[in-house]
A and B are shown apart, each in its own frame.
Chain A
Amino acid sequence: MANAPAGGITPTHDTGTRATQVFGTLAALGVAWLCAFGLLFSPADRDQRESVRIMYVHVPSAWVAYLAFGVTAVASALYLLRSSHSLTWDRLAGASAEIGVLFMGVTLVTGMLWGRLSWGVFWTWDARLTSTAFLFVTFLGYLAVRRLGGTQHQRAKRSAVLAMLGVLEIPLVHFSVRLWRSLHQDATVARIEGDPDLDGLMLFSLFVGLIAFTLLYVWLVIHRQRALVLEDALEAHGLDAALVERRAEAALQGGGR
């Protein structure tokens, strides 16, 4: 945050505010707490032994990726449906998708490490793994579409449609372990049968992970959304400057005749 000295206002040179400081601090505390519980305090699993500790970062990463893509779809729908077509919704969608791709990427990598210990291979074309990779590639494509040419509103419209289609893959990914025969284990927390199938301290550690990762997501989205505001402002200023320059050139040419 910029300080305002006596007699003048110092320009703000970052995207931080009191809110981001609070979320950032809470997220850092949550991560420290997660590492303590995930690596030290929680017990080893009867079947998976120490490798179960990967679950405390793998499952929250996947949860945040789903959350991020869900937020992208909702923000995209709000951009399209509201008569104002505010670019604020588009920026929120773009920021959330980028962070969702990051978390989906780490979900895939941690899943591969866990898979190597559980199944003996880093990768197999299993229904859950393949559908997760497909979701990851879909939102990578979404980020590529956002970089195509055109006005800000053209970008917003085409990417909003893609986000609303892409988010439909999430139920497919989540229920893939039930729809097809899968190596991947079934849900242990959000179970149709009811109570979570986890030891109390393991469940608590996983809960800590979910809270910490959600706080990290909120902190990152706020910063990224503000960075997108800056990018759009610079683009608009660049366009304004180019127009002024072109008008000056035209005036000079007109005066010279």
Chain B
Amino acid sequence: MEDAGFVIGSYVVVFGGIAAYAATMISRARRLARRVPDADKPWT
């Protein structure tokens, strides 16, 4: 593929960025959830 570095790089930036954000956010949420009683979690 012509310009593969740029094309694949753009997909890596997008999905890598979103995955890194999601992993950080969910792991932080899990740490917080351990310290909060279920009564304060409306989704449970």
Contacts and interface: CB of A to CB of B under 8 A. Distances in A.
Contact of A229 (B6, B35, B42): B42
Interface in B2-40: 2-4, 6-11, 13-15, 17-18, 21-22, 25-26, 28-30, 32-38, 40
A130 to B, nearest CB: 21
Given A50-B1, A237-B36, A15 B7 contact: no
B4 to A, nearest CB: 7
A234 B11 contact: no
Nearest to A222: B43
A219 to B, nearest CB: 8
Interface string A103-125: 00110011001101100000000
Contacts of A50: 1-4, 7
Report which residue of B1, B7, B42 has the largest number of chain A beta carbons within 10 angstroms of its beta carbon.
B7
Contact of A102 (B18, B38, B43): B18
A57 B11 CA distance: 7
Q: Which interface class (under 10, 10 to 19, 20 to 34, 35 or more) fits B?
A: 20 to 34
A54 interface: yes
Contacts of B41: 12, 226, 229-230, 233
Given A12-B41, A15-B43, A102-B21, A39 B26 contact: no
A216 B30 CA distance: 19
Report which residue of A51, A54, A216 has the largest number of chain B beta carbons within 10 angstroms of its beta carbon.
A54
A223 B22 contact: yes
A247 B16 CA distance: 49
Given A9-B38, A13-B33, A233-B41, 7 more contacts: A12-B41, A13-B30, A110-B10, A113-B6, A113-B13, A116-B6, A230-B40
27 contacts: A11-B37, A12-B33, A12-B41, A13-B33, A15-B33, A35-B11, A44-B2, A49-B3, A50-B7, A51-B3, A53-B7, A54-B10, A105-B17, A109-B17, A110-B10, A113-B9, A114-B6, A114-B10, A220-B18, A223-B25, A223-B29, A227-B25, A227-B32, A229-B41, A230-B33, A234-B32, A237-B40
